[in-house]
Amino acid sequence: MSFKKMLVAIDRLNLSETVFEEALELAQTQGASLMVFHCINWQNEGQITPLTGSSIGFDVGSGMGLDPTGGVMEQTLQQERLQQELQQVQGWIDTYGQKAAKLGIATESYYKVGDAGESICEVARNWGADLIVIGRQGHTALTEMLMGSVSNHVLHHAPCSVLVVQRPKPAAQV
């Protein structure tokens, strides 16, 4: 099977470099173009997942309506923080795109705010990807059942083939 358009979905966890390298190698051998994609996941209303992996809370609704300007100030602060996050993400994914372009691989980069699993599938569908390359953190079955898994969602809802790059297990000690 030959792939011509590969969407590589990366996040800011330590598996991203491995996922990207796998996609890069495959794109070179297949003569495929790449789209480097990252989703900024809204965990709760008023919170985003920043580059470091912790949440930035926006205290939506603070002030309990006692200060009529408080809501406007909070909203402005939210917009400023989101714009900073979006600029950081754009620079980060552009770095991956530049690395691929240096190897002669046609590359686009794109980010979106939303649910990661749904966004990956939507972007793959809209872009016409024939392969999604994504990482899997290797959570326990219980954790995946309670919290869900982006890679599991993508496997079951993708409009194309999916390559899941598994976190390497540590070598067993003898």
Check whether 116 has a pLDDT greater than 70.
yes
Residue 139 within any structural domain of the chain: yes
Check whether 86 has a pLDDT greater than 80.
yes
% of the chain beyond a pLDDT of 90: 50
Check whether 108 has a pLDDT greater than 60.
yes
Number of domains the chain contains:
1
Between 173 and 171, the more confident residue is: 171
Distance (Å, whole) CA 30 – CA 124 = 18
Report pLDDT digits (tens) over 6-49: 999 998 876 889 999 999 999 999 999 999 999 987 554 344 44
pLDDT confidence bin for 50, thresholds 50/70/90: very low
Domain extent, residue 94, equals 5-166
Backbone angles phi, psi at 80, to 5 degrees: -65, -45
Q: Average pLDDT in the 87-101 region?
A: 92
CB-based contacts of 58: which residues, under 8 Å, 6+ apart?
46, 47, 74, 77, 78, 81
107-113 and 56-57 as β-strands: parallel, antiparallel, unpaired?
unpaired
Residue 147 within any structural domain of the chain: yes
CA atoms within 13 A on the CB side of 173: 0
pLDDT at 51: 42
Residue 173 within any structural domain of the chain: no
DSSP 46: T
Check whether 102 has a pLDDT greater than 80.
yes
Burial of 90 (0-12, 13-18, 19+ CB in 10 A): middle
Q: Average pLDDT in the 164-170 region?
A: 77
Query: How confident is the prediction for the chain on average, in pLDDT?
Result: 79
Residue 174 within any structural domain of the chain: no
Residue 29 within any structural domain of the chain: yes
pLDDT at 138: 61
CATH number, domain with residue 11? 3.40.50.620
Is residue 114 within 8 Å of 41, Cβ to Cβ?
Answer: yes
> Does pTM top 0.85 for this prediction?
no
pLDDT at 48: 45
Residue 171 within any structural domain of the chain: no
